[in-house]
Chain A
């Protein structure tokens, strides 16, 4: 029920409304709760509303952690 998905904000269409795109599927959403969202941001959509803007730095940090773990496992696999 609390399912939410990231989609890219491609247009601000009005006061507190925007258009998002996910793999070519475009949808209108409310930006009422994320007034700081900018075109190009990935936003987390739940029930037609943006509830948060994805933080790209934090997303990258997470990937770094995982890449490091994967690399360590790969080294073990080689020995």
Chain B
């Protein structure tokens, strides 16, 4: 599409959204679950197109943001006490733990290797052998299969010095908690997570909570289209799950990817920043893959982490507060010198607000 037609399409969708929203006097609040959507919404300035009674709040779908301080602390202690080389996705390097970040660890002589693909960690392990390489296992359903496939490869190759510190999270358990909130009227569902788990997997939102959901792609028009469907379902009180990203997401998702995950992981509990411990929302290494678990191979005493009590990341991650309500926002907490994870991650709500303003 040419830019003129794109802008015409956006105009048409925004107008339709406005017309539907004008049929109701109350506020309509939807949550974009995915951090990549958060960034896309702000980058495109979509909120400036919304009618006054339409609100889009950010959810817990930024893996870096929901990772607890304790995880960073444990990783750094393992690195320090076991001379381990850290391998990680770039997003995690600057996330502050209780005693600095991985960037601090690196500046103090520790080894931190940023990888594009988790498979790179296998090559790093071969290069630094016998030193242990610890991959920081953070991510949702999109990323988890890539880690599972990596460990499957490592097991087949007999790689002995590669480990994963698992902090993986799955989206359905927190979504169930959020779906119970009266003041949320529906969900903009994550596109690439859905590519793995399938649009059918959200049926409980309709069945158990009578809330609509729309799976959305990441271009501005994809998001507007999904929002139009969401406001229509909410106003008509006809909740359903609509897949607005059919070019990528199948109703059954990607069973091959899920089979790899099931071979390597089993369901466990997980702690989320902002939501606390959520039963069944994490994954643990199982069977022959248990030997890759860095937490079990390198036990360390992790002191109890203390969060800055003024940091509102926890409330921001559940859509309860917006970044501008936080006293640290833009003053003591900026992308250059972040206090909380929502400002560190490029997909964090605070980072998006800071970069693009609230609109």
Q: Which A residues have a C-beta under 8 Å from some C-beta of B?
A: 1-4, 30, 32-35, 44, 46-49, 51-52, 54-56, 58-59, 61-63, 65-67, 69-74, 77
Contact = CB atoms under 8 A, between A and B. Distances in A.
B340 to A, nearest CB: 17
- Interface residue range, chain B: 35 or more
B319 interface: no
Contact of A69 (B13, B34, B254): B13
B335 interface: no
A4 B9 contact: no
Given A47-B117, A69-B9, A2 B192 contact: yes
- Secondary structure dominating the interface of B: helix
Contacts of A49: 117, 145-146, 149
A52 B195 CA distance: 7
B103 interface: no
A30 B153 CA distance: 11
A63 B145 contact: no
Contacts of A67: 1, 5, 9
A69 B12 CA distance: 6
Given A1-B91, A58-B247, A61-B246, A30 B139 contact: no
B323 interface: no
B89 A1 contact: yes
Given A34-B254, A47-B117, A69-B8, A1 B260 contact: no
Contact of A30 (B5, B89, B149, B193): B149
A71 B9 CA distance: 8
Contacts of A77: 8
12 contacts: A1-B91, A1-B143, A2-B34, A47-B117, A48-B116, A49-B145, A49-B146, A52-B248, A52-B254, A56-B247, A58-B247, A59-B247
Contacts of B143: 1-2, 46-47
Given A47-B117, A47-B143, A69-B13, A62 B247 contact: yes
Given A44-B248, A65-B225, A66-B1, A51 B149 contact: no
A74 B138 CA distance: 46
Contacts of B116: 47-48
B149 A55 contact: no
B347 interface: yes
B79 interface: no
B97 interface: no
B111 interface: no
B237 interface: no
Of A34, A62, A66, A71, most B-chain CB atoms within 10 Å: A66
A38 B217 CA distance: 23
B36 interface: yes
B58 interface: no
A63 B1 contact: yes
Given A4-B192, A32-B260, A65-B225, A51 B9 contact: no
B96 interface: no
Given A30-B119, A33-B149, A52-B254, A2 B190 contact: yes
Interface string B236-253: 000000000011111000
